[in-house]
Amino acid sequence: MRVTQNCEGTSRRDCLRLGLGGLFGGGLVNALQARDVAASSGDGAKRLAKAKSCILIWMDGGPTHFETFDPKPEAPMEIRGEFEPIATKVAGVQYSQHMTRLAASLDKYAMIRSIRHDQGNHGAGNHYMMTGSPTRIPVGCGAFVSFHPSMGSVVAKECSTGAALPGYFSMPQMSRSGGPNFLGAKYAPFVVGDDPNNKNFRVRDVAVPLDLLGDRFQRRNDIRKLVDRMNRFTDETAGDPAVANDEYYRQGMDLVTSTEAQAAFDISKEKDEVRDAYGRNPLGQRALLARRLVEAGVPFITVYDGGWDHHSDLFGALTTRLPSWDQTVAALINDLDQRGLLESTLVIAMGEFGRTPKISTLSGQTKAGRDHWANAMSVLMAGGGTPGGTVVGATDRNGYSANERVLSPENLVSTIYTKLGIDPNKILYTPQGRPSHLVSDPTTITELM
């Protein structure tokens, strides 16, 4: 698998060296625990929101707003860059030249151009946008920070339906602040690290190991049942963890042998024209798999798309990357719409911040790029009752800062929660009983409701 990393040099491989993959990676038992606790801890309130699922396309590293959704053609050359603007479906709104499909379908989704915050490094910016909560203390650019539960973990807790699959998936890895914090590892994402674009794609923990095909798998399960007849040290009411684990392993067996679970991951069943529409590349096929998980009842899926930290070679890299990215995201929105799923599925595309207005060249670099910039960014939102063709807010003439309808990450996250039927003003409690507001400012973006 290709390892992507940001300017601080922290990669998925580093996470594994630190042991974070096992802790936050969402093994099968923990994922099943998440579903179990979520189903038992709800208050029974009926959710009136239209959205039942959310697909978050996380553009890790901080995508440029200039070269995507907010070009500045009247700015000086050192600001506007090399790409030309193009017209969109909405009169008077322009995108950058490589966003052709999304420009032609702006009537199906909304664009937010005025979110800003003050966390200009990867660690803090990631945390703020993933949780709706700023970090409590200053953190380094490469930090893996978790002061608050991520949106995916909260949605897994609040919106799990009891379906066969876990409530929170992340592909191919978890973002550095995409974990559950005090909600516990049971609400960590189930990570699908393999590439669905590969011919022999199989999901760990959901497929029977190749060396156990046939009756060997069932024989091993039968042996385990014999061992489980041994007396426990305590009874179930006393909280013996072995008793609880028995139930999770039983559910694990159900998942491995579930035809519904196997069908959700069998992406080979998709028609060639559908797979081609999404793009025969890792991002495209993960987006398609995300749609299949939505159909299977999963409430939150993160499609992690790394490598947006373009301090150098911005224009060369994006000339190659943006056409296929544009194809994938437009295909996902269109496919959900055609299947009647867009009204009940929220689609978000964003990163931790935007990029600097002035093009720069870092020391030792020969090709220009843009640096971190949290004063302005663009966020795409589709589905879940979001009115298509809506453009919220604006940045100034040179893209330095949001200056119309200025919004915060809290406003964005509150909007996402509200569309999923979760009260952003809800108070969560840590295991020690300490209260924590889900979002400190529960004000939603009214134009998107």
The rounded Cα 41 to chain-centroid distance in angstroms is 24
Domain of residue 297, residue span: 12-448
Q: What would the pLDDT profile of 394-411 be if each residue is shown by its tens digit?
A: 999 999 999 999 999 999
The rounded Cα 162 to chain-centroid distance in angstroms is 21
What amino acid occupies position 392? V
Q: What would the pLDDT profile of 120-133 be if each residue is shown by its tens digit?
A: 999 999 999 999 99
Residue 312 domain-assigned (yes or no)? yes
Give CA–CA dist 188/181, Å, rounded. 9
On whether the CB atoms of residues 78 and 314 are closer than 8 A, the answer is no
pLDDT of amino acid 276: 98
pLDDT along the chain (449 residues), means of 10: 58 40 44 43 47 97 97 94 96 97 98 95 93 79 78 93 83 93 88 92 68 55 54 45 47 61 88 97 98 95 97 95 98 98 98 94 74 96 97 96 96 97 94 92 95
Residue 342 domain-assigned (yes or no)? yes
Residues 6+ apart with CB under 8 A from 26: 34, 166, 168, 170, 174, 188, 189, 190, 191
The CATH number given to whatever domain includes residue 334 is: 3.40.720.10
pLDDT of amino acid 255: 59
pLDDT of amino acid 146: 79
Give CA–CA dist 351/65, Å, rounded. 10
Write out the H or E segment, with its range, that includes residue 86: strand 85-87
Number of domains in the chain: 1
Q: Is 1 helix (H, G, I), strand (E, B) or coil?
A: coil
> Of 57, 176, 118, whose CA–CA distance to 408 is shortest?
118
Residue 4 domain-assigned (yes or no)? no
Residue 404 domain-assigned (yes or no)? yes
Residue 33 domain-assigned (yes or no)? yes
Residue 2 domain-assigned (yes or no)? no
pLDDT of amino acid 66: 97
Beta strands in 344-414 (DSSP E): 345-350, 354-355, 372-373, 379-382, 391-392, 394-395, 402-404
Give CA–CA dist 298/295, Å, rounded. 8
Residue 7 domain-assigned (yes or no)? no
Residue 5 domain-assigned (yes or no)? no
> Of 436, 372, 426, whose CA–CA distance to 64 is shortest?
372
